[in-house]
């Protein structure tokens, strides 16, 4: 059994698109960054803690083997030296979304997704990684930013944008995995699942899913 430790509809849709059969059991953990914690370390730690928390809760009530997949994504602005620095989470409100988009406009930033897979064996086996994609935004006028925020799309997205939505009109280039920016790097996630439970991923395919219907 595969468990997705996330309530994100985008991650659910991506796993379905990949043809995997799974159940959803969101994790509830403290997501406060540690002092001076680097962005890549932060997203990998959160993904690992989410997967392990769901694994522990499920193992307490079930004996059948299972694997938990968890992820955490952050939009990260470069600092003055060009290194990943400021983490942009989900905006608190429309004004905060406008602030974030003004920071992103005309610049290249990193989208980092920590991924973790935990197999329920005794002892459990955990593997984790971070996928990084560079995303370039065209300049945006204040009027364009306000109009985009008014659509409501940015309000529940890390960094206040959705590459698969209206924001695509301002993104001329990415370097890396597109699906990582959507919310889950599919290929890397499947590789981690195979590494965690040593089961061919083809055995997980749900043949009842038609990708054309997604």
Instruction: Exactly one of 36, 64, 72, 79 is catalytic; name it.
Output: 72
Verify whether residue 72 is a known catalytic residue: yes
Taking the alpha carbons at both ends of the chain, their separation in whole angstroms is 22
C-alpha distances in Å from residue 97, one per residue of 12, 39, 101:
24, 20, 6
User: How distant is the alpha carbon of residue 60 from its chain centre?
Assistant: 27
Per-residue burial over 103-141, b = 16 or more CB atoms within 10 Å of its CB, e = otherwise? bbbeeebbbbbbbbbbbbeeebebbbbbbbbebebeebe
As annotated, the active-site residues are: 72
């Amino acid at each position: 059994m595969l468990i997705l430790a996330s309530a994100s509809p985008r991650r659910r849709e991506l796993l379905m698109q990949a043809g995997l059969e799974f159940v959803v059991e969101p994790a509830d953990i403290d997501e406060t960054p540690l002092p001076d914690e680097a962005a890549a370390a932060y997203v990998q730690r959160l993904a690992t803690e989410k997967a392990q928390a769901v694994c522990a809760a499920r193992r307490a009530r079930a004996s059948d083997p299972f694997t938990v997949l968890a992820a955490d994504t952050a939009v990260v602005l470069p600092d003055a030296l060009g290194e990943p620095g400021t983490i942009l989470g989900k905006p608190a409100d429309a004004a905060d979304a406008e602030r974030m988009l003004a920071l992103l406009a005309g610049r290249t930033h990193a989208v980092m997704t920590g991924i973790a897979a935990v197999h329920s064996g005794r002892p459990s086996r955990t593997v984790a990684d971070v996928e990084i994609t560079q995303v370039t935004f065209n300049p945006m006028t204040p009027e364009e930013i306000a109009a985009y925020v008014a659509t409501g799309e940015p309000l529940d997205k890390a960094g206040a944008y959705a590459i698969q939505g209206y924001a695509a009109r301002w993104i001329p280039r990415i370097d890396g995995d597109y699906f990582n920016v959507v919310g889950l790097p599919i290929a890397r996630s499947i590789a981690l699942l195979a590494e965690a439970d040593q089961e061919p991923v083809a055995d997980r395919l749900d043949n009842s899913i038609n990708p054309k219907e997604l």
